[in-house]
């Protein structure tokens, strides 16, 4: 069966510090991978998606970047965090070639930038 | 106009009641539709796909109205455990990978 791991669960970082969130998927090959951010009481905002190793598409201009160094690994990074980067970050995967609307989410990272 | 719109609620209904909410979408070429459930401070989880002919899964019924560009979710005999935020999801035909989430409708079931 497929599983998705995302860590850490909670993170408190000072403004200006770097960020690295990691997401890995097990039990499937060549998945589509996604990073979302959810502000408190709001919907999910798609940040990045990837259809393969080294292939990253950005949905919105921002202070963040993403990388996919391996087939089942997706990393979200920032060189200098802003207060506005606070939120609930979710990684998700969907079957490559399948319906991308069927997504499976990690447990999320709650980031507070102070 | 937002691509996907939902009434944020909250819908506050007694246990055992039937509740329904809609989600409208703006792109008539949208390809597929889904309902997700998100519990407080948790990740979203797929509840059900929405098929053109409508579909039912136990107490849950999903319908699609392409002419009026909305999908609906009906919950019968609601349980306390149904309390959650329900997100509708639309995948645009034009994009290879984009998926659009609504902001969610919050449902609270009271004893």
Tens of pLDDT along chain B (111 residues) come to 788 999 999 999 999 999 999 999 998 887 889 999 999 989 999 999 998 888 999 999 999 999 999 999 999 999 999 999 999 999 876 555 678 899 999 999 999
User: How does pLDDT run across A1-41, given as a tens digit for each residue?
Assistant: 889 999 999 999 999 999 999 999 999 999 999 999 998 87
- Radius of gyration for chain B, computed over Cα atoms and rounded to the nearest angstrom: 14
Pairing of strands A3-7, B55-57: unpaired
Picking from A44, A52, A97, A110 by the largest number of B CB atoms within 10 A of its own CB, the best residue to mutate is A44
Asked whether the beta carbons of B108 and B10 are under 8 A apart, the reply is yes
Judge: B98–A46 Cβ closer than 8 Å, yes or no: yes
Question: In the prediction, which pLDDT does B95 show?
Answer: 59
Judge: A51–B103 Cβ closer than 8 Å, yes or no: no
Q: Tokens for A58, please give them.
A: 């950005």
Picking from A74, A101, A102, A105 by the largest number of B CB atoms within 10 A of its own CB, the best residue to mutate is A101
Nearest to B34, CA basis, from B48, B52, B20, B55: B48
- In A, minimum Cα distance to B103 occurs at A43
- In B, minimum Cα distance to A88 occurs at B41
Asked whether the beta carbons of B11 and B110 are under 8 A apart, the reply is no
**Centroid of chain to Cα A109:** 9
């Amino acid at each position: 069966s497929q599983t998705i791991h995302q860590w850490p669960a909670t993170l408190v970082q000072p403004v200006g510090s770097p960020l690295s969130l990691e997401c890995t998927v097990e039990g499937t090959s060549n998945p589509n991978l996604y990073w979302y951010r959810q502000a408190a009481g709001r919907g999910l905002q798609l940040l990045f998606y990837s259809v393969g190793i080294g292939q990253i598409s950005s949905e919105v201009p921002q202070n963040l970047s993403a990388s996919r160094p391996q087939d089942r690994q997706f990393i979200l990074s920032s060189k200098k965090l802003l207060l506005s980067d606070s939120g609930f970050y979710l990684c998700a995967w969907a079957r490559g070639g399948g319906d991308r609307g069927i997504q499976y989410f990690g447990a999320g990272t709650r980031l507070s930038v102070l | 106009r937002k691509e996907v719109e939902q009434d944020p609620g909250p819908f506050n209904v007694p246990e055992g009641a039937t509740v329904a909410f809609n989600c409208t979408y703006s792109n008539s070429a949208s390809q597929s539709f889904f309902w997700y459930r998100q519990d407080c401070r948790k990740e979203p989880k797929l509840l059900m796909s929405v098929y053109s002919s409508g579909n039912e899964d136990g107490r849950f019924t999903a319908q699609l109205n392409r002419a009026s560009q909305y999908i609906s979710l009906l919950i019968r005999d609601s349980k306390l455990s149904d309390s959650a935020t329900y997100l509708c999801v639309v995948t645009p035909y034009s994009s290879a990978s984009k998926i659009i989430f609504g902001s969610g409708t919050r449902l609270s079931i009271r004893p």
